[in-house]
Amino acid sequence: MGDTYQILTSISIIIQIILFIAFIILIFLLSGYVKKLITKTDVLHDDISNFKIKLDPLIDDTIELVKKLNNISEKVEDNIDVLRKATDKIKTMADDIVEFKDRIQRQIEPPINDTIVFYTALIKGIRAFSERLKHYYPSKRTTKENILFDEDKKFDYDAEIRGEYDDINKELNEVRKKLEEMKKV
Q: Is the pLDDT of residue 167 over 80?
A: no
Instruction: Tell me, yes or no, whether 154 lies in a domain.
Output: yes
Q: Is the pLDDT of residue 83 over 60?
A: yes
Q: Is the pLDDT of residue 141 over 60?
A: no
Instruction: Tell me, yes or no, whether 89 lies in a domain.
Output: no
Domain range for 146 is: 109-184
Q: Is the pLDDT of residue 65 over 90?
A: yes
In the chain, the number of structural domains is 1
**Which residues are CB-contacts of 149 (< 8 A; sequence separation ≥ 6)?**
169, 172, 173, 176
The CA distance from 135 to 75, in Å, is 86
Instruction: Give pLDDT, residue 160.
Output: 53
Instruction: Tell me, yes or no, whether 98 lies in a domain.
Output: no
- Whether 179 and 116 have beta carbons less than 8 Å apart is answered as yes
Instruction: Tell me, yes or no, whether 10 lies in a domain.
Output: no
Instruction: Tell me, yes or no, whether 124 lies in a domain.
Output: yes
Instruction: Tell me, yes or no, whether 177 lies in a domain.
Output: yes
The CA distance from 126 to 165, in Å, is 10
The CA distance from 112 to 97, in Å, is 22
What is the C-alpha radius of gyration for the chain, rounded to an integer number of angstroms? 60
Instruction: Tell me, yes or no, whether 152 lies in a domain.
Output: yes
Give the predicted TM-score (pTM) of the model. Answer: 0.38
